[in-house]
Each structure stands twice: as structure tokens, then as C-alpha cells.
Chains A and B, each alone.
Chain A
Amino acid sequence: MTTTDDLLDRLSADGAATTGKPRLVFGGWLLGAALLCAAGVSLLLSEAFYSVELYGTGPMVVKWGFSLSLILFCVIALRTLGKPGRRGSLFLALLALPFAPIVALLGLELSTIGPMMDGPTWPRCLLAMAIMSPIGFAGAVLAVRSMAPTRLHSAGLVAGMFGGALAMTAYAPFCPELGMSFMTLYYCLPILLMAGIGWMFGPRLLRW
């Protein structure tokens, strides 16, 4: 009997039924990262919903509308990219969708009142993004590693984007800044930067 035949016997003894709870593992890593970020914000910031107290829910709809939809599309894309043989291009293209209204609002702001880029809390925004994005990124990497990604650059890019979007979701309720230019500079660009980092390190981090 050849070694391959031995291997076939050994593998088939396990059966074809899926062991464990792969969906729970995938979701667990993402949820774990989200909870970690949420816990961090609630522990460190006394008024996590400071911007809502100041301006009501309007600005939050824009910020969370963007970041939550980006998270949703990232999760869908990660699930798809984690399954070999599935075309993920459509889902990758969908990731651009949440950016469209932001670009439109930014264009409106620039053409009417000019760039609203200044804001005293920008160092804290950047710090929050810098601390929490890697947590979300790590959660996404572990989640997608529990599957079988074969397009590692793309999966890394989405994992990075997820990390950035998660960090924004956690911190945005506190952020009292309103300008779209501010949001683009201190939220969208860091998210894209994380996506670039994910694209770069995807093949190293996601190999299986």
C-alpha cells in the first residue's frame, strides 16, 4: 500500500462531517475584536457618546452609516474570500460603495464652505485609529485563517479595512468633529492605510 493510500484511509476515518463550529470560530474572532475595542473605548473615555450629546444623532448617522456598512461588506468579502473557488471580485468592488456618499459629501463641503479640516481632537482620533485598527485587523486575520483563503493579498486588504472600520466605529461616537474633510483625513485615510498594510502583509499572515 502506498503512503497516499494510507493517508486516504486516515483522512476518511474522520468522515466528511464538519467538526467544530467553523462559523462560530469565524464570527467569534470578529466579535472578540469588536468587544475588545468597545471595552477599551468605554473604559478610557468617560463620555463615549460625546458627539451625540453635542449634536444629536445626525453626524453619527453619517459616521456609523459609513463605518458599519464598510464592516458589513468586509465581513461578507472575508467570508467569500475564505472559500476557495469563489469569485470575490464583486464583493471587493462592493467595498467601494460606502466611500461613495463620503466622497459626495466631501465634494459638497469643499464646493460650499471649503475644507473643514481643523479640529482640536485630531491627535486623539489618530491615536484611537492607530491603537484599535490593529486589534480589528488581528481579529479579521484570525477569522479568515480559520477558513481557506487562496487570494491572500485581497483577503489581507479586506482584513485591514475591517480593522480600520472597526476602530472608527468604536471611536466615532466620541469624536466631536463634524467636517467631512476631517473625517476623510483622520478616518478614511487611516482605513485605506490599514487596507494597504493588510494587502502587503496578507500573504505572510494568512498562509495556511
Chain B
Amino acid sequence: MSSTGDALDQLMAAARAGDSAAYRHFLAEAAQRIRARLARKMGGDSELEDLVQECLIAVHDKRHTLDPGRPVAPWMYAIANYKLIDHWRKRGRSPIELDDEADMAVAADTMAATDIEALLEQLPEAQAQAIRLTHIEGLTNREAGERLGVGVSAMKLRVHRGMNRLKELVDEQEQ
């Protein structure tokens, strides 16, 4: 067990000794701390919870890179920082605020008279594919992301940008 008094260290040591309840507690505590850390850096970003989940999956998948006896916190925060930077990189460091609800809440008949497929062909393939999966096939962002092998954040961004572009194209046609 680590010499520090950090609850994370104690929970991880117990979890590694085979205590499965301790591992559940460890992950819950980690989620709380990561959420707090990311919230300070991201503000009220709508993707905060997705990123917290990405971090938790990374912490779990990469737990073999934490040497026994080493303090958990620096390791865990390094993963969280890495995931945050990766998240910003995927968003192109743009200050876009993704509005999932607005992106998903396009009324069914809004574009009824429009040849959607023709419009989609004018979009970059990644965005068109994202919209086909989420708005035509009805998958969630997570399901669509899993099918394409990209993260939820990247999927949301594709849908968001694609929908914005689609709206512009429709406006141009109406003028």
C-alpha cells in the first residue's frame, strides 16, 4: 500500500488485492475528482460528462501502467489532462459550443421537400456519414461513434458541423 493517506491509493491497493467493492469505490472517487478537475478547465462544456467517461475508461484500460505503490492521483490526472488536450485537439481548439439537443431536434418535416441525399453529398464524407447514422438511421452519438470507430465527442462534432452546413445549404437554396 502507498505511504500516502490518499483514499485513492488505499482503494486501489485494496482493489488490486482482490476487493471488487473497493474497485467500484475507487472508480466512483476517481470519477468525482476527474469531473471536478475537468469542470474547472472546461467550464460549462456540454461534453464534460462524455469526457469524464472517456477518462474513466482510459484509467481502467491503462491501469497496468500504474506501478504498485505509486500514488494514483498524479497518474490519474495525467491521463485526464491528456484526454482533455486530445478533446480540444479534436475540436480544433475552436470555441464551438456543441448543442446536442438543437442538433438532434430537427423536426421531421423541416426538410421534407428537400432532397436530403443530394445535400449530404455536398458535405465532407465524415459529416454526411455522421448525419446519416444519427438522423436517418436513428442511432445515438455513442452508437454511431462505435460503428465508425470514433469517440462520442468526435461524433457529436461531426454531426454539429454537418447540421450547420446543411442549414446553410438549405438557406442558400431557398434564397
Contacts and interface: CB of A to CB of B under 8 A. Distances in A.
B65 A83 contact: yes
Contacts of B26: 16
B157 interface: no
Given A7-B57, A83-B67, A15 B31 contact: no
Contacts of A14: 60
A121 interface: no
Contacts of A147: 62, 64-65
A194 to B, nearest CB: 25
Interface in B137-172: none
9 contacts: A8-B31, A12-B20, A16-B15, A22-B64, A83-B65, A83-B67, A84-B65, A85-B74, A207-B86
B142 to A, nearest CB: 9
Interface stretch (B39-47, B76-84, B107-115, B126-134): B76-84
Contacts of B49: 3-4
A84 B77 CA distance: 8
Nearest to B68: A18
A13 B27 CA distance: 11
A16 B56 CA distance: 13
Nearest to A6: B53
Interface in A10-48: 11-20, 22
Interface string A58-89: 00000000000000000000000011111000
Interface of B (DSSP majority class): helix
Contact of B75 (A13, A16, A85): A85
A26 to B, nearest CB: 10
Interface of A: 3-4, 7-9, 11-20, 22, 82-86, 147-148, 150, 207-208
Most B-side CB within 10 Å, residue of A14, A16, A86: A16
Q: Chain B contact residues (Cβ within 8 angstroms of A): what range?
A: 35 or more
Contacts of A83: 65-67, 75
Interface of B: 12, 15-16, 18, 20, 22-24, 26-28, 31, 49, 52-53, 56-58, 60, 62-67, 70, 74-79, 81-82, 86
A4 B52 contact: yes
A16 B65 contact: no
Given A4-B53, A11-B57, A207-B86, A148 B79 contact: yes
Nearest to B20: A15
A9 B74 contact: no
Contacts of A207: 86
Contacts of B81: 150
A16 B63 contact: yes
A85 B77 contact: yes
Contact of B79 (A4, A8, A11, A84): A84
Contacts of A16: 12, 15-16, 22-23, 26, 63
A12 B79 contact: no
A148 B86 contact: no
Contacts of B24: 8-9, 12
Nearest to B15: A16
